[in-house]
Structure 1
Amino acid sequence: MSYWLFFYLSLVTTQTIYNTIKTHMKHVLNSRRKLLIAILIAASLASACSERVIIGSSKDTVVQKPTATSAFADVSSTSSIAPAPEFTGKISWGTCNDDEGGSQDKIQCGTLEVPYDYDNPDIGSFKLFLIRKSASDQANRVGSMLVNPGGPGFGGSSVAKDAQFYFSAELLDRFDIVGWDPRGTGKTSPAIDCIDQYDEYFGMDSPPDTPQEKQAIVDASQKFNDQCVKKSGEILPYISTRSSAQDMDSIRRALGEEKISYFGFSYGSELGATWVTMFPKTVRAAVLDGAS
């Protein structure tokens, strides 16, 4: 089950808060992904939760069992946004460490450099961390499927590493499962890092029942925000859903896929809907299990 921590935010993005909490809890809970954080923004609660499910495929069709939303969401906020200039990089594939699934068959780890800003590629770059679980039946391989577990802020590389827990054997036979840690998260570098000690945040009483408790959350959130700006302010302007969608297309190009499939859990549905809207001609199929 999930543990809920509520913040009033003012200066940093939801991605920032979620990623930093997630990074800490990954060690605390031994990478079990048992923490889901609800962010309270200007007194409004925005939360999402998704259970792990088994996904199956029949022929070239991806099907979720027992239920799924397999349609492209209408994302009005991105429908008028044109994609940035194309960026084609090369993924440097290699062996994985043990904690990255290195003992498994048909698994590779790699990195791909993508620009902070696709319109100004000389500003700097992120080095995305990826894990690929290759299709077991290469003779009948359909293609690659990108995966994202949501958050925002969860690194998607672990979904590829643990693909057998998420997807059916039939799907794993025919698709390369490719997960990546979105910009600013996980083993992608540089990663957002706000504070060193999280204990005071996990020990806070939430939701607040008194004015004093409410003010304590406001004060703690301001402190958290200030530290994020101080330690990671250089990259915060380049962390966004739209930028991650552009990264998805860069990954597709680097994989050499004309079209690619995608499965998004929770917030990953919003990311997927943004990607579909920006790059519709590159979409083979997409499953969005919690479309917003």
Structure 2
Amino acid sequence: MRRALTTVAATAGLTISLAACGASIGNAGDPTPGGKGTPGGSPAAGKIAWGACTDLAMAAGGAATPDPALQCGKLAVPLDYRKPDGPAIDIAMIRVPATGPGQRIGSLVFNFGGPGASGVDTMARAAKAFGTLNARYDLVSFDPRGVQRSRGVVCGTGPDMDAYVSQNSLPANDKTRAKVRAATEEFTRLCEKDSGEVLPYVGTVNAAQDMDRMRLALGDAKLNYFGMSYGTQLGAVYATKFPKNVGRTVLDAPLDPSVSFEQRTLIQTKGFQQAYESFLKDCVEQGCELGDSVKAANKKIDAFMTKMVVSPLQVGDRQLTQGLASTAVAAALYSELSWPFLESALSSGLKGDGGALMYLADTYTGRRPDGSYSTEMSSFPAITCVDSAERPGREELLRTEEAALKISPLFGNAGAGSVCTLWPVPGSNEAKTVNATGSGPIVVVAGKGDPATPYVWGPRLVEQLKTATLVTFEGEGHGAYLTGNKCIQGAVNTYLLEGKVPDKGASCPA
């Protein structure tokens, strides 16, 4: 799940870091065998025509020759599950066939987070990190509906997105809020103009139904699933809708789907502030250029951010604003492995060179060297706002922002509600209530130092699911498996490969 990094990018999601590499939800369409839903028979399995991958973004802002083992394809699913014979949408998919040795178990479907991250591009880059699992599983991922190749939500041109994501969040006064609201109004207008046909149908409940169509098309009796960050909510919703179709399921960096916009904003602000302070402490202990104490380093960075409100740094033909610089800092806090680069980027910024900070911001927002954008910054609010009926008013937004700023002057803002209040289509709370009663065992992995999905959400999700077991990671960063921690990887791999559920109360040191 991405964090709101500036007031404008207020629903920027929580994509898992790859630096290291309860009532049930009702059915909106045809059920599958064993799934919860209305009578009417099972959907047709559909077919996936696998072929070579031709349009992968293999690295930030660039393309490269893909591994020939990768296979790409598309699966047609209903745009509106209430009208299963109506217009269809193609879901883009990617597969890495099992390599052996050992008997193939089936497919292992991944969602790497967001909402809004491209599973196709991420799997192409990250497959080797799951080599142990790839021996016996076909690794499969996809662009969820509303994302990139799967009718990705578009909100204007590259220059439109530049204007939107570069807005400043400081100073926190009425003048800034008015500018932010105007930018958000224009952004949501462009979303409706460019993607209005698909906006009502991009929510998590529909994506969960898409995954069951994938299961059928892949030929699997049960869905084996690895969800990270927002992918944990998608997995929880799937388990709620189709408990008897749940196979071996891992949810890493869990989101509590029941939280309100205000609750999510405040707890994430606290998580990012704690990660920021941990970064500064580590930096000072290692002897960094930012300052000889946490207080001194923080004061220097605060002054830098304040100065950039009126004097942004020129980076080529662009300007590094305070809003983009704040985005850059938060983006690097997702993984402890990014801390040295963040130290270097901030040190350069303090000397007048904003290139590295701009790179961090662009990597997060999905801006490419040619000035175009991936759909991530548009897909995120589209999915987030459809997944909630909340539409906060001015007083609630102001209260949220004021509380968040007390926690962190750098990261505090009004959160996702500021975009959803202006969103052009209504939302539903259907994806907020999860209960997997009747499913097989689910493993939830939560990190004590996770800034984006704070640890407390792990036990809460376990409690809501009813069928889950919690594994605690004592380390830093967003997500545990891809940190390379041998204890976490051992527990997850043993479960996915052998079906052995970790002991209750299992914990792994950093």
Q: Distance in 2 between matches of 1:49 and 1:130?
A: 18
% same residue: 36
Find the partner of 1:149 among 105, 112, 123.
112
Q: Counterpart of 1:171 in 2: which secondary structure? A: helix
**Residue identity opposite 1:6 in structure 2:** T
Q: Distance in 2 between matches of 1:207 and 1:79?
A: 42
Find the partner of 1:50 among 3, 11, 16.
16
Match of 2:54 in 1: 97
Structure 1 unaligned blocks of 5 or more:
8-36, 40-45, 56-75
Q: Does 1:175 align with 2:137?
A: yes
Deviations 1:184-243 (A, max 9, x none): 11112x321111021211221125511110111111111111111111111111110000
Find the partner of 1:120 among 83, 93, 117.
83
Structure 2 unaligned blocks of 5 or more:
31-41, 59-64, 257-510
Answer 1 or 2: which has greater strand percent.
1
**Residue identity opposite 1:96 in structure 2:** C
Aligned residue runs from structure 1 range 1-292, under 5 A: 4-7=5-8, 38-39=10-11, 48=14, 50-52=16-18, 76=22, 79-82=24-27, 84-85=29-30, 86-87=42-43, 88-97=45-54, 99=56, 103-137=66-100, 139-167=102-130, 169-188=131-150, 190-196=151-157, 197=159, 198-206=161-169, 209-291=172-254, 292=256
Distance 1:215 1:100, change over 3 A: closer
Distance 1:141 1:163, change over 3 A: farther
Match of 2:422 in 1: none
Answer 1 or 2: which has greater helix percent.
2
Question: Is the deviation greater in 151-160 or in 92-101?
Answer: 92-101
* Maintained 8 Å contact 2:95/2:139: yes
Distance 1:164 1:180, change over 3 A: closer
Q: Counterpart of 1:129 in 2: which secondary structure? A: strand
1:177 positional shift: 0.7
**Residue identity opposite 2:7 in structure 1:** F
Q: Which has the larger radius of gyration?
A: 2
* Maintained 8 Å contact 2:111/2:228: yes
Aligned Cα root-mean-square deviation (Å): 2.5
Under a length normalisation based on structure 2, what TM-score does the superposition of the two structures give?
Answer: 0.43
Q: Distance in 1 between matches of 2:180 and 2:234?
A: 29
* Maintained 8 Å contact 1:54/1:165: no
Q: Counterpart of 1:216 in 2: which secondary structure? A: helix
Distance 1:192 1:122, change over 3 A: same
**Residue identity opposite 1:171 in structure 2:** L
Under a length normalisation based on structure 1, what TM-score does the superposition of the two structures give?
Answer: 0.73
Question: Is the deviation greater in 196-205 or in 254-263?
Answer: 196-205
**Residue identity opposite 2:234 in structure 1:** L
